[in-house]
């Protein structure tokens, strides 16, 4: 049982837009801590995709965007491409645990 809640899977056709939600609680996202997103391609290590709710590291396409409101956050991917097929994880800080917490991950399938 992950501290942050994500849908297990989402799917979309090439070119479409999909969103992945991430819901937390008053000790993490709701406490004002930032939300970050990671992309994990099959068989590889996670890679930082979005940091500080909506910022993209250098090299990440602007098709990826993030937002946060209250105790939830969202990752949006527009113009879906086959290479976007991966697992996506949200992450925040939890004051009751004094450490990082992750969502359970969402598998994106490009139809």
Partner 1 sequence: EVQLVESGGGLVQPGGSLRLSCAASGFTFSSYWMSWVRQAPGKGLEWVANIKQDGSEKYYVDSVKGRFTISRDNAKNSLYLQMNSLRAEDTAVYYCARDNWDYYYYMDVWGKGTTVTVSS
Whether the Cβ atoms of residue 6 and residue 103 lie closer than 8 Å to each other? yes
In the shown chain, the binding pattern of residues 35 to 74 toward partner 1, with x for contact by CB under 8 A and - for none, equals -x-x-x---xxxxx--xxx-x-x-----------------
> Whose Cβ is closer to partner 1: residue 13's or residue 43's?
43
Q: Which residue has the tokens 């990752």?
A: 75
Judge whether 68 and 54 are in contact, CB under 8 Å: yes
Please say which residue, 16 or 95, places its beta carbon nearer to partner 1. Answer: 95
Give, in order, the Cα–Cα distances in Å from 54 to each of 13, 86, 95, 97, 109. 24, 19, 21, 24, 23
Please report how close the Cβ of residue 102 comes to partner 1 at its closest, in angstroms: 5
Answer yes or no whether residue 33 interacts with partner 1 by CB under 8 A: yes
Asked if 38 and 46 count as a contact pair (C-beta separation under 8 A), the reply is yes
Chain residues in the site for partner 1 (CB under 8 A): 2, 33-34, 36, 38, 40, 44-48, 51-53, 55, 57, 87, 89, 91, 93, 97-105
């Amino acid at each position: 049982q992950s501290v942050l809640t994500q849908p297990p899977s989402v799917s979309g056709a090439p070119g479409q837009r999909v969103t992945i939600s991430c819901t937390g609680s008053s000790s993490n996202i709701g406490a004002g801590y930032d939300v970050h997103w990671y992309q994990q391609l099959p068989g590889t290590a996670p890679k930082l995709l979005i940091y500080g709710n909506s910022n993209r590291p250098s090299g990440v396409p602007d098709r990826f965007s993030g937002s946060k409101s209250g105790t939830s956050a969202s990752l949006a991917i527009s113009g879906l491409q086959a290479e976007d097929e991966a697992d996506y994880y949200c992450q925040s800080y939890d004051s009751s645990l004094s450490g990082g917490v992750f969502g359970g991950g969402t598998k994106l399938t490009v139809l």
